[in-house]
Amino acid sequence: MEVSERFLQTVLDGIQDCINIVDKDFKIIFMNETASQRAGKKRQLLLGNKCYAELWKESSPCKNCVTGKVFETGKSQQTITWEMGLDGKKFYLERFAFPVVDKDGKVEYAIEIFRDITERKLLEEDREQQRLELGKRVRELRHAYEELKSMQNQLLQAEKMASIGLLASSLAHELDTPLATISGYCELLAEDIHDERLLGRIKIISEQIIKCQKTIRNLLDFSRKSTCEKKLCNIHHLINNTLLLVEHRLKIHKINLRKTFDDNVPPLLVDGNQIQQVILNLVNNAVDALPQGGDMFIETRLNKEAKSVEVAFEDNGVGISSEDQKRVFAPFFTTKEPGKGTGLGLSICNNIISAHNGKITIESRVGNGTKFIISLPI
């Protein structure tokens, strides 16, 4: 019997885990060398003492004790918890407890095994972190690929729009000549005809021709390549001339336009063509934000403190989310459906206003409309 105990002790002393056997009163009746080293005492001085007092320096059974549950349930128990060592350092501890039953099947002793798995847990956490980081990188790459694909489509759309612009410019030139001819013949007819009824009809034709010529010339002025020459311009004239280009679009989309101009606004030193491009882009954006019709407001005001003129473009349309507002001025970013926007309009507006030492800001809430405010120095 003594040989068997010595053999068992030798075998268990070779195991690096803490192993001890306790009774129902948590008294230690056996422990290996690793457990005694943890307690900091010789084995003979520990036997018969409470395990929670000697191993964990507690005055009562430990909060995460699995041994007590073994005696209660008669089943093996296991937990993994953060523990505080005697040196003040935290570590992961894995606890096992197994029942030892008597001939009647009642739990007489419990075998406790404690294992420090800090290194393993930290390695698992590191691997999990690496897995999450890899997943994040994969998502970023997928997002970057989608953005690149979208950018290619937008570049193609931008080329199409540029071609349409050239075509529109050429078409305007071609239409201007026959309209001038028709206008001339109307004047000749007006001189030869004395019937008031016919003269009234000729007058209507002449007025419509003048209106067409004005629209075409505004389109030509707008499409003409800017030389970036700044001169004093009346901002109200620039707004009104630009609105002539989209007057029909506002009617088709059932949009009510309301203008509030400040008469105290002075002329501004700007490139008229570029500012008209900004105005046109912002008006078109407002139209797109009102698919079911609605109201658009254009207001000018003099900011004496900032020594600037502010032009506000506001609609009561669908609005823009706070997340998208951070990117609206980025090149090729658009909230419109594919094929309905290049994502360049607001970026160009921002560049033009910046080149005029001004700034453009946005105020919007989803479902409550959008307001763009342009500020240009006096």
Span 325-365, pLDDT tens digits: 777 777 666 666 655 555 667 877 888 898 899 999 988 88
Any domain includes 49: yes
Give the domain-ending residue among 116, 143, 159.
116
User: For residue 331, what are the domain limits?
Assistant: 227-378
The mean of the pLDDT values for the chain is 82
| Helices 196-223 and 118-192: angle between axes, nearest 10 degrees | 150
Q: Record the tokens describing residue 334, joined without a space.
A: 């658009």
Reported confidence tier of residue 4, pLDDT bands at 50, 70, 90: low
Give 87-117 pLDDT, tens digit per residue: 667 778 888 888 988 888 888 889 888 888 8
Long-range contacts of the stretch 49-58 (C-beta < 8 A, 24+): 50/25, 50/26, 51/20, 51/22, 51/26, 51/27, 51/112, 52/26, 54/28, 55/18, 55/20, 55/114, 57/86
* Burial profile 5-37: b = 16 or more Cβ within 10 angstroms, e = fewer: eeeeeeebeeeeebbbbbbeebebebbbbbbbe
The answer as to whether 161 is a domain residue is: no
232 shares a domain with 104: no
Last residue of a domain, one of 94, 116, 138: 116
List, as one string, the DSSP characters of 101-119.
Answer: E-TTS-EEEEEEEEEE-HH
* Closest alpha carbon to 300 in 257, 262, 340: 262
Is 277 within the bounds of a domain?
yes
pLDDT at 249 over 60: yes
Angle between helices 196-223 and 272-288 (to 10 degrees): 100
In a domain, 241, yes or no: yes
Looking only at the bridges linking them, the beta strands covering 255-260 and 294-303 are parallel
Mean pLDDT over 146-167 rounds to 71
Q: What sections of 262-340 are H helices per DSSP?
A: 272-288, 322-325
Q: Is 243 in the same domain as 364?
A: yes
Confidence of residue 295 (pLDDT cuts 50, 70, 90): very high
Q: Is residue 182 part of a domain?
A: no
Number of structural domains (the chain) is: 2
The answer to whether residue 334 is domain-embedded is yes
| Final residue before a domain boundary, out of 101, 116, 131 | 116
Candidates 203, 209, 160; CA nearest to 182 is 209
Tokens of residue 290, six digits: 């009102």
Alpha carbon distance 221, 277 (integer Å): 10
Q: Which residue intervals of 114-223 are DSSP H helices?
A: 118-192, 196-223
Residue 1: predicted pLDDT: 46
pLDDT, tens digit (0-9, with 9 covering 90-100), for 191-245: 888 888 888 888 888 888 887 877 776 666 555 555 567 889 999 999 998 898 8
3-state secondary structure of 343: coil
In terms of Cα–Cα distance, which of 76, 52, 55 is closest to 66?
76
Burial 317-340 (b: 16+ CB within 10 A, else e): bbbbeeeebeebbebbbbbeeeee
pLDDT of residue 123: 85
CATH of the domain at 77: 3.30.450.20
Element (H, E) at 11: helix 2-13
Tell me: do 99 and 240 sit in the same domain.
no
| Domain contains 122 | no
Q: Is the pLDDT of residue 149 over 90?
A: no
Q: Residue 309 domain-assigned?
A: yes
Whether residues 88 and 233 fall in one domain: no
